[in-house]
Amino acid sequence: MSNTHGMTPTNSAIFGGSLRIPGEKAAAKTVVRATWKPRQRWRAFSSKLFFFTSLMATVLAVAALIYLLQSVAEQGLDRVSWSFITSFPSRFPAKAGVKAALWGSAYLTALTAAIAVPIGVGAAVYLEEFAADSKLRRFIDINIANLAGVPSIVYGMLGLMLFVRICNFGRSLLAGAATMSLLILPIIIVASREALKTIPMGIRHAAFGLGATRWQTVRAHVLPSALPGILTGVILSLSRAVGETAPLLMIGALSYMAFVPETPMDAFTVLPIQIFNWTARPQDEFHVTAAAGIIVLLALLLTVNALAIFMRMRYQRKAQW
């Protein structure tokens, strides 16, 4: 609360009477000052120490990644070729390829996205924009956060019971995608809610103040603004799905497939399972094949992540506050 508006305070008003000008005679009143201990050297040292600690942490993480990439590339890079990508697996290591697994991974990811994104984003919008703050909502909040931490093998068992047996999807692509959707739903919901939370309340109030309904507000302003964050969460969760093995082993994805799945009800395999299968074999040549498979999987993951970054940048240009 101020009542000085309309007037620019002059220097003497700001500093009172005690503004000291060099050369002027010392004022009659002496100012007593407290003792200060700046500990300048310790503060500078601890700042540098922290800088190096965090730098080392980064270097360690990157070094581990480089070592992994380097050892995989050394073993398998020569093996990666067009025929490796376009051949089906074989009992002869030199002829084996990832065609079925690569297509299986691509279809599974697309089908998982088609199931999990609408449900996940819808649930996030409901919880963040529509649901009143109630005990039930807090109960749901806690459980979604907990679900994100459930081991993936447990989702595999649930998928086996629910989709393979009860829904009678069999050991199909659809059963796999439904199971993967359950696995990544909590991640999509949590990430989307965080993205919605970052949108300033002022935007919502502005829309409500113009006589907009909740849905109009969400549809026209909140969702578009939150889209980059939602997309990032969605794509990161999908790249998790690309790399998952355990739940698909559980529901019975095949490890040897000599055809590309054509309908959602077909049997399927995915890259991690194919790689797992090859590494489990005694012949050294298959380990080279496995390394080549890992390179293909990493390339797929990096493509998906690059897509996420590209889309985020594209949509982010619009909204800044």
Q: How far is the CB of 122 from another protein (least distance, A)?
A: 21
Task: Please count the CA atoms within 13 angstroms of the CA of 265 that sit on its side-chain side.
Answer: 3
Q: Strand, helix or coil at 200?
A: coil
Q: Which of 132, 166, 168, 263 binds another protein (CB under 8 A)?
A: 132
- Pick the binder of another protein from 207, 226, 234, 235 (CB under 8 A): 207
Q: How far is the CB of 11 from another protein (least distance, A)?
A: 19
The one segment of 44-52, 149-157, 200-208, 229-237 that binds another protein by CB under 8 A: 200-208
Binding piece for another protein, criterion CB under 8 A, among 25-33, 118-126, 177-185, 214-222: 214-222
What DSSP string runs through 24-54?
Answer: SPPPSSPPP-------HHHHHHHHHHHHHHH
Residues 312, 130: Cα–Cα separation, whole Å: 25
With CB under 8 A as the contact rule, the residue among 33, 47, 210, 282 that binds another protein is 210
Contact indicator for 148, 186 with CB cutoff of 8 Å: yes
Q: Closer to another protein by CB, 149 or 202: give it.
A: 202
Segment interacting with another protein (CB under 8 A) among 16-24, 98-106, 163-171, 197-205: 197-205
C-alpha distances (whole Å) from 277 to each of 33, 86, 237 are 76, 18, 24
In whole angstroms, how close is the CB of 220 to another protein at the nearest point? 7
Residue choice 37, 53, 133, 135 for contact with another protein (CB under 8 A): 133
Output DSSP code: residue 220: I
Least distance in angstroms from the C-beta of 317 to another protein: 10
Number of residues that make up the chain? 321
The least distance separating another protein from the CB of residue 144, rounded to whole angstroms, comes to 20
Residue whose CB is less far from another protein, 1 or 28: 1
Q: Are 179 and 244 in contact (CB under 8 A)?
A: no
Max CA pair span of the chain: 100
**In angstroms, what is the minimal distance from the CB of 252 to another protein?**
47
- Among 85, 154, 203, 236, contact with another protein (rule: CB under 8 A): 203
**Cβ 213 to another protein shortest distance, Å:** 5
Contacts to another protein from residues 7-66, by CB under 8 A:
none
Locate tokens 């790249």: which residue? 239
| Cβ distance to another protein smaller for residue 91 or 205 | 205
How many Å apart are CA 152 and CA 251, to the nearest integer? 12
CA gap 131, 218 in Å, rounded: 13
Task: Kindly tell me which residue out of 88, 148, 154, 221 binds another protein, with binding defined by CB under 8 A.
Answer: 221
Listed residue (257, 242, 226, 224) closest to 300, CA to CA: 242
- Euclidean distance between CA atoms 139 and 99, whole angstroms: 45
**Nearer residue to another protein within complex by CB, 88 or 315:** 315
Closest approach, Cβ 6 to another protein, in A, equals 5
Burial 105-123 (b: 16+ CB within 10 A, else e): bebbbebbbebbbeebbeb
Q: Three-state SS for 92?
A: coil
Question: Binding pattern to another protein, positions 299-318, x when CB under 8 A?
Answer: -------------------x
- Quick check: 198 binds another protein (CB under 8 A)? no
Q: Which residues bind another protein (CB under 8 A)?
A: 1-3, 5-6, 132-133, 200, 202-213, 216, 220-221, 225, 318-321
